[in-house]
Amino acid sequence: MGGTLLSAVIDSAQKSDFDMTYVVVSRETLSVVTSWGYNRVQFVLNEKPEAGQSGSLQLGLRAIESKEDSFCILLGDMPMVTSEVLRGLRSSFLELPQNKSAMIPVRDGRFGHPSWFRPIWKHRLLESSGDMGGREIIGRYKDEVSFISGADYCFFDVDTPRDYELLKGKEVCPPAPSQ
């Protein structure tokens, strides 16, 4: 894998034909990524990354221009989520019954990513706070959520040098299975 962890995730999103990708970054990261020259990518500055995941989530949600479109939340430190995985999960999401408005990978009670949401969730997730992100809100509407069995790539993020060393030994994961 060449480039950075973040560029690998953005590349996967770009190859998945999303209309637009919003990437929430710190000021330090913004000074680097703006020169990358991506199309259909908007970098959103998080002035207060210490506020936790919910601050980044809210900034990303507010940046989404369309109120009618479904959206995907993917973390920038999950390079094992390839474009093939994204396309497979997107197909499964599009086939959800009408009574389900979100699709979230889960394993042993842990939520993974990428997670997929219909437009109604934009308003709901804007209520999140702290480092819990949207977990508490998802719990309130769990009957509307299709919880799918999450593969390893839905839970493997790179937070430490040891995680990075583990990543170097992993092969690119296969496409996500259909539901």
How does pLDDT run across 98-152, given as a tens digit for each residue?
Answer: 999 999 999 888 888 999 999 999 989 988 766 556 788 898 999 999 999 887 7
Question: Nearest CA to 124 among 115, 114, 113, 135?
Answer: 135
Tell whether 175 is covered by a domain: no
Tell whether 148 is covered by a domain: yes
Compute φ and ψ for 166, nearest 5 degrees.
Answer: -65, -40
Q: What is the pTM of this model?
A: 0.82
CB of 94 closer than 8 Å to CB of 118 = no
Cα–Cα distance measured from residue 65 to residue 149, given in angstroms and rounded to the nearest whole number: 31
Tell whether 26 is covered by a domain: yes
Tell whether 113 is covered by a domain: yes
Question: What tens digit of pLDDT does each residue of 49-93 get?
Answer: 887 778 888 999 999 977 778 999 998 888 778 899 899 999 999
Number of domains the chain is built from = 1
Tell whether 163 is covered by a domain: yes
**179 pLDDT higher than 90:** no
Task: Quote the pLDDT of residue 120.
Answer: 94
Output the six-digit token pair for 175: 């496409």
Tell whether 33 is covered by a domain: yes
Tell whether 152 is covered by a domain: yes
Tell whether 42 is covered by a domain: yes
Please, is 8 exposed, middle or buried when counting C-beta atoms within 10 Å of its C-beta (0-12, 13-18, 19+)? buried
CA contacts within 13 A on the Cβ side of 119:
6
What CATH number is given to the structural domain containing 163?
3.90.550.10
CA 130-126-97 angle, 5° bins:
120
- The SS3 assignment for 116 reads strand
Instruction: Give me the amino acid identity at 93.
Output: F
Question: Which residues constitute the domain of residue 109?
Answer: 5-168
Question: Nearest CA to 101 among 58, 143, 140?
Answer: 143
